[in-house]
Amino acid sequence: MRFDILTLFPNMFASPLRESILGKAIEKGLIQIQTINIRDFTLDKHQVVDDPPYGGGQGMVMKVEPIARAVESVKSQNPSAWTIYLTPQGKPFNQDLARRLSTQPHFILLCGRYEGVDERVRDLFIDEEISIGDYVLTGGELAAMVLIDAVSRFIPGVLGSDRSAEEDSFFNSLLEYPQYTRPFDFRGSCVPEVLLSGNHSAISLWRRKEALRRTSLRRPDLLGKANLTEEDKKLLEEILQQNRREKAGNGI
């Protein structure tokens, strides 16, 4: 999978994408990431990339011509590269969207700055607009990194041979169960005994129940989307009863 990132700040990408798992994926040739400085596609002496908006108003707007030329320089190598504009006005990014995107071989990621891009960039060059959440960043660069990370995890081999992206939180719309490692006793706080029992079916049941408990407490909105089995529903009922008892015990 290939990502061509169009940005005014290519240095932002150097380290975050080359460490750890993504760094290994690049070494293995599973992903290729190239940054392209939009400023290199200006034609004027001062390399101007932004201008005040027509009609007046605050801030600056990114000009259409340098972006057009930058997009076209990638598309001349691969006309079918999928072009994404990272903007708070885009569709909300989530695990389902990351999974869908992971079937595409080649992306152009356009990172906006200032008050955004000239509307004609959208009209003429953008296939899809994506936001990573309901807050405003200073530019699309961090959002592009989030997208690259979440999408790359779905490429076979990126997470290592025996790990699958589908085992993690949000697969089946549940949060992860609690994890422990040594020591058994840390300052009097001990690991749940069942995890030391060697009883794999008891461990699986405990984990499923704790995932359901955590999801019902922190993200009850996810339970509606989850594919719950009859056993899950029984576990959830036990959790709710337990919660009610604890509340009663606390005198609430």
> Is 115 one of the annotated active-site residues of the chain?
yes
Q: Give the range of 82-90, 148-156, 173-181, 203-211 binding ligand 6GU by CB under 6 A.
A: 82-90
Enumerate residues 94-153 that contact ligand 6GU by CB under 6 A. Answer: 131-133, 135-137, 139-140, 143
Q: Which tokens in the block code for residue 113? A: 């700055």
The smaller minimum CB distance to ligand 6GU, of residues 90 and 178, is found at 90
Strand partners, 35: 5
Asked whether the beta carbons of 34 and 3 are under 8 A apart, the reply is yes
Of the candidates 10, 50, 141, 153, the residue annotated as catalytic is 153
Of the candidates 88, 149, 178, 208, the residue annotated as catalytic is 88
The smaller minimum CB distance to ligand 6GU, of residues 95 and 172, is found at 95
The smaller minimum CB distance to ligand 6GU, of residues 9 and 207, is found at 9
> Is 153 one of the annotated active-site residues of the chain?
yes
Q: Give the range of 9-17, 66-74, 81-89, 204-212 binding ligand 6GU by CB under 6 A.
A: 81-89
Of the candidates 44, 168, 237, 238, the residue annotated as catalytic is 168
Residue 223 DSSP one-character state: H
Q: Which tokens in the block code for residue 99? A: 């999974």
> Is 237 one of the annotated active-site residues of the chain?
no
Of the candidates 115, 129, 149, 176, the residue annotated as catalytic is 115
Peptide bond into 52 cis (omega under 30): no
> Is 16 one of the annotated active-site residues of the chain?
no
Q: Give the range of 17-25, 63-71, 84-92, 100-108 binding ligand 6GU by CB under 6 A.
A: 84-92
Torsion region of 37: left, alpha or beta (phi above 0 gives left; psi -120 to 50 gives alpha):
beta
Among 85, 84, 93, 90, smallest CA distance to 132 is for 93
Chain centre distance of CA 195: 31
Asked whether the beta carbons of 69 and 41 are under 8 A apart, the reply is yes
Q: How far is CA 174 from CA 111, 127, 129, 140, in A?
A: 31, 31, 27, 29
CB of 229 to ligand 6GU, least distance (A): 35
Residue 244 has phi, psi (to 5 degrees) of -65, -40
Q: How many residues bind ligand 6GU (CB under 6 A)?
A: 12
**CA 31 to CA 42: how far, in whole Å?**
28
174 binds ligand 6GU (CB under 6 A): no
88 binds ligand 6GU (CB under 6 A): yes
Among 86, 121, 126, 175, binds ligand 6GU (CB under 6 A): 86
Asked whether the beta carbons of 63 and 51 are under 8 A apart, the reply is yes
Q: Which amino acid is at 179?
A: Q
The contact set with ligand 6GU (CB under 6 A) reads 86-88, 131-133, 135-137, 139-140, 143
Q: Which residues are catalytic?
A: 88, 115, 153, 168
